[in-house]
Amino acid sequence: MAAQRRADVVWEGDLLSGRGAVKVGTGVFPEFPVTWGARTEEPGGKTSPEELLAAAHASCYAMALSSTLTKRGTPPQRLNVSAVCTFDKVEGAMKVTRMELTVKGKVPDLNQAQFEDAAKAGEKGCPISNAIRNNVEIELTANLE
């Protein structure tokens, strides 16, 4: 059975001066505001699709890497993952151009080279990476604590 998740947005006004409100179906997050300015300037307490994509990617990648390490017999004690999503103008149109994943891991009985290898394999198995691959440049940096 396929899992489905839902989010809803209400948008009012034009692109530049309008605003929206995002709600997730589970209700786990409070409703949060989105605006064009939050995407292209200072966020000012609002979020953006790119920030949400970065959050989705970081959490998905953490799970994928944890799975990879566990399958290799070296489950992690801790993984700290950050994702930075770049939204930029390309040939006159706005586009998500890059995602920078950085992971620091505490994994007993693993050296740096082994961790980097697992990190690359985890990225290849990450569903969010696979959804954006070939459209968004993905850069991965992995270091043991």
Tens-digit pLDDT profile for residues 35-51? 999 999 999 999 999 99
Identify the band that residue 11 occupies on the pLDDT scale cut at 50, 70 and 90.
very high
pLDDT tens digits along 61-71: 999 999 999 99
Q: Where are the domains of the chain?
A: 7-40, 49-144
pTM exceeds 0.75, yes or no? yes
Mean pLDDT across 110-125: 98
- For 49-144, which CATH class? alpha beta
The secondary structure of 69-121 as a DSSP string is: HHHTT---SEEEEEEEEEEEEETTEEEEEEEEEEEEEE-TT--HHHHHHHHHH
